[in-house]
A and B are shown apart, each in its own frame.
Chain A
Amino acid sequence: MRLLPAFPFLTQLLFLLPIAAGLFGVLLPALGYLPDLGGDKFHFEVFRQLLEHPALPHAVWLTLFSGIAATFISLSLAIFLATMLSRTSLSGNKNNRMASLFVIVRRGLIPLIAVPHAAMALGLAFLVAPSGWLVRWFSFLLMGWETPPEWVTVQDPFGLSLILGLVLKETPYLLLMILAALPQIRAQEYIRIGQSLGYGNLRSWLKLVLPQVYPLIRLPVFAVLAFSLSVVDVALILGPSTPPTLSVLILRWIDNPDLSFRFLASAGAVLLLLLTLGALLFWRVSEWLLLQKWRNWLSNGKRGNRNEAQKLAALSGLLLLGTAFLSVLGLAFWSLSLRWPYPYVLPQRWTSRNWERHWTSIQETSFTTLELGVIAVLIALILVVGCLENEQWRRVSFSFRSQWLLYLPLLIPQATFLLGIQILAVRLEMDGTFLLLVWSHLLFVLPYIFLTLADPWRNLDTRFPQIGQCLGASPLRVLFRIKLPLLLKPLLVAAAVGFAVSVSQYLPTLFAGGGRFATLTTEAVSYAAGADRRVIGVYGFLQALFPWIALLLALAIPRWRFRNRATLL
């Protein structure tokens, strides 16, 4: 109990140091200061140069458009699906075929969170390319095209395929966040009330549940928005190249052998940060405006039930699921192919060679991935639970400011931010150590765990711990005997999400690990540079498999543990 205040302090220290280092590492070069490259004076010349860069206006437009559109579509789809997929709707659904369809969509969508963005993007690229899987089947069954059609699908100039790729990944994440938040606001009871007053399922949901659930998922939505604006790997694979999004432009500048481009890259990173903050503000203002507009609608008393909405939700859910499933399946087929040129719909020659050849490397990298993920998740869980407990027992809420601090790593473009951390690590003689590697993963794992766990924790009925206390239990005992068991499911889901985040880290692993630690993701990304779908298939599949298993466990354990306590599920 006395140690509790140490948790937020420790967490903040853990974050403050690298973030300050990271921010300085971006800001100073952006202002022209990087002595090792000959910049020893502060000036705004770099920003002027950035703003005059011919590719910039379009890149900024593209970044904002694709990021905001992807977030908006993902959120709308997630809400739409949630209205149909939440248990509340299922129990009230008389149409059995529809109900079982929804169960399939629900069971299928959630594991998609585990598939790494890059793997999904590569799979999608193969699926929808003009020479891709869909066209090959179409050509095989109907047209017999000798050469692929000259369509512009992947890497289209408007970034539509990029948006689709992001939506495939973010919709399941937001859906999971919504479904996890529903029990806290007792959505089921509201729906029943709504229904008994003659509102249809969808209307009850939108009028009664959504206004309560949205504040709970606002932070995840912000995280999705920030991620979509600064994503690199998906934009590289699916986004246009002339010009690309701002994040890819920054990466090109960092990758430029002319080291003086680091100045421009840093300024670009600062601009991206400002854009992200601007987009978040824009989003928040739009929320408020929408609320003003719809306030009347919420209480206008109009009833009605529309079944088309249900069908539409089922259709969009199935489409989403099908696209994602085929993307992953395509990669799996590639991992088993030796030769697969156009127009073959299936590999021309099959082989197990891709798997055999990498078996030793798979074993080593899998172990490192697992070790790193488990340790990072455990530390993060302890810190997050400590902070949340501190907040509850001492009735101080984690301040707005420190919460933003926590989310900063998710808002700042990784590549430039990590350069500053790297310099700090070298100064502390910590670079290339396992400790630093875990630390760098924590920067990204911890916010996601906090994001996933904070609301269920805060919304746990306070009467449970109160009863425990009244019966004379110490806070620690209350934590272990009442809170943790009650919150087992969100705890495990948070752990699984954190694990998935750890597995997917590429740049932090490379920068902090000093190249000393190879994980499935460092392997996968370096092979992605070679564009060999067969090897990418192997590593992409494994990259998805681990978090998938973690998530399945997170869902199965509570089910087993609470097999006699159905309402806890």
Chain B
Amino acid sequence: MNNIFNYNSATESESMSKTLNFIIFTTLFLLLSSFSVSANSWEDISKKAKGQTVYWNAWGGSEEINSYISWVGTRVKEDYGVTLKHVKLASTADAVSRVLAEKAAGRTTNGSVDLIWINGENFAKMKENGLLFGPFTDNLPNFKLVDFSGKPTTLLDFNLPVEGYEAPWGMAKFNFVFDSARVSETPKSIPELLQWSKRHPGRFTYPHVTDFLGSTFIMQALIELTANPEVLNRSVKSEVEFSKVTAPLWSYLNQLHPLLWRSGNSFPSSSSVQQQMLNDSELDIALSFNPSATSAAIANGSLTESARTFVLKKGTIGNTHFVGIPFNSGSSEGAMIVANFLMSPEAQMEKQNPDIWGDSTVLSITKLSAQQQQKFKALPLGVATLPPEKLGPTQPNPHPDWKNQLSTEWQRRYGQ
């Protein structure tokens, strides 16, 4: 699959020289960037940012998120004189492709994207192709408030070191949504989910693997089913390893698929569609990547009032979502202002409120003032949200390599 792209099939000597280049380059870069950090004090950045317009390219499929972003716009205008424009995307790839086209055309300044909501593979690919500005997070005062030890995914995005090229602004954790009016007992593990499906054929499914939640589900199943899940934290070593590690997953899915909605012959195209199907009673159990999203959806009417959530006993995958700045942004200072504001206690608190959005904070509560801690604790939990102690352990997202190969293999097996 990959070997046709010559940059992936470097010979060993090439990769040696590449490593050497990398070391030299990184050293140079670190030297230079330490300069840039000292040269760009926060005051300088704020001064330059004033009057800039920041075009933030972010998924625009949710009313709640859109109104939160527009609130952020009002606040950064008030405090920093930065104008924020939300470019609503149907797919983040549209913005990545725009930055790519600009790079192809040699546009190194004044690019059309100033800030982009990314994580995981989009981040990996943008970083790999030199499409990101940075490192910049050390310049941001609020970055210090982030809970690095309790939330290690703020530094390791899908096991890839972030290295200051994107700023964290929210936490996600895989969970299941069910309609308590129809489901009395919820499965506690991936094998139990199969048992449940045997008793209730056609009432569960997961989104197509091209959707992030669909691929997260198969990774979740893999973590629980494979003998040695630690190998998932690094890249895939060989085809033999891949087939050995993933064998239990395929035999599980082979049993599960006939019991899914439409016997696994068709899959919802996205997690949003799946949520709609739960509301339409076509499903009893659906998936979510935000523990408070269900409460928020009930509050705004898009899910039935009897919807509730559950997690798995051994834990579920959690990750962090970030904002990055494209290499050619003409308003990188303004973008940093926005990124910094997103990590502020005020913005994080607003975001975590389930009546607004219900997206968990990236901050370490203990690093905040007593008053701020109080306010965070006073936030409502939401009717369908599990309290933190019941959310179970958080498992890291496997390396993007696994996700890519899993997704290709899934499409080969079930995508036809």
A→B interface (CB under 8 Å): 32, 34-41, 43, 45-46, 49, 54-55, 58, 129-132, 146-148, 150, 152, 155, 157, 236, 240-243, 252, 254-260, 262-263, 337-343, 349, 351, 357, 419, 422-424, 426-427, 431-432, 510-511, 514-516, 518, 522-523, 525-535
Contacts and interface: CB of A to CB of B under 8 A. Distances in A.
B102 A243 contact: no
Contacts of B208: 241-242
B6 A152 contact: no
- The 4 A-B pairs at the shortest CB distance, nearest first, are namely A530-B61, A38-B7, A515-B87, A426-B105
B34 interface: no
Contacts, number: 205
A522 B95 CA distance: 14
A255 B93 contact: yes
A17 B404 CA distance: 37
Contacts of A510: 94
B235 interface: no
Contact of A515 (B100, B107, B113, B202): B113
A341 B297 CA distance: 12
A518 B86 CA distance: 10
Interface residues of B, number: 75
B399 to A, nearest CB: 14
Contacts of B77: none
Contacts of B415: 54-55, 242-243
A169 B131 CA distance: 41
B112 A515 contact: yes
Contacts of A263: 4-5
B105 A527 contact: no
Contacts of B91: 255, 529
A527 B103 contact: no
22 contacts: A36-B100, A37-B5, A39-B5, A41-B6, A43-B4, A54-B415, A55-B416, A131-B281, A147-B203, A241-B266, A242-B267, A242-B414, A257-B92, A257-B124, A259-B96, A339-B304, A427-B106, A431-B112, A515-B113, A528-B90, A531-B270, A531-B272
A532 B63 contact: yes
Contact of B121 (A243, A257, A427, A526): A257
Given A240-B266, A515-B112, A532 B302 contact: yes
Q: Which of A45, A55, A259, A349 has the most CB of B within 10 A?
A: A259
A54 B416 contact: yes
A258 B401 CA distance: 10
Interface string B269-301: 110110111011110000000000000000001
Contacts of B270: 529, 531
B202 A150 contact: yes
A49 B408 CA distance: 13
B302 A529 contact: no
B151 interface: no
Contact of A38 (B5, B93, B96, B305): B5
A49 B4 contact: yes
A515 B101 contact: no
B280 A531 contact: no
Contacts of B5: 37-39, 260, 263
A510 B6 CA distance: 32
Contact of A341 (B96, B210, B279): B279
Given A243-B415, A515-B57, 17 more contacts: A129-B282, A252-B210, A257-B96, A257-B125, A259-B100, A426-B102, A427-B105, A431-B102, A431-B112, A511-B98, A516-B112, A529-B59, A530-B62, A530-B63, A530-B272, A531-B270, A532-B272
Contacts of A155: 266
A329 B223 CA distance: 46
Interface in B60-88: 60-63, 67, 85, 87-88
Contacts of A254: 93, 97
Interface string B401-416: 0001000000110111
Given A427-B106, A516-B55, A522-B88, A242 B4 contact: no
Interface in B104-149: 104-107, 112-113, 120-122, 124-125, 129
A531 B273 contact: yes
B371 interface: no
Contact of B4 (A32, A157, A252): A32
B314 interface: no
A46 B1 CA distance: 10
B269 A130 contact: no
Contact of B411 (A54, A337, A339, A532): A54
B89 interface: yes
Contacts of A262: 97, 100
A337 B300 CA distance: 11
Given A54-B411, A528-B90, A535-B63, A514 B98 contact: yes
Contacts of B88: 518, 522-523, 526-527
A342 B98 contact: no
A255 B212 CA distance: 12
Contact of B105 (A147, A252, A423): A423
B273 A45 contact: no
Max chain B CB contacts within 10 Å: which of A147, A148, A263? A147
A535 B61 CA distance: 10
A242 B416 contact: yes
B89 A526 contact: yes
A307 B413 CA distance: 53
Interface in B188-240: 202-203, 208, 210
B268 to A, nearest CB: 8
B313 interface: no
B59 to A, nearest CB: 7
A405 B104 CA distance: 26
A278 to B, nearest CB: 22
Given A129-B280, A257-B93, A339-B301, A241 B269 contact: yes
Contacts of B106: 426-427
A251 to B, nearest CB: 9
A356 to B, nearest CB: 12
Contacts of B7: 38
B210 to A, nearest CB: 5
Contacts of A337: 301
A511 B98 CA distance: 7
B301 A147 contact: no
B262 interface: yes
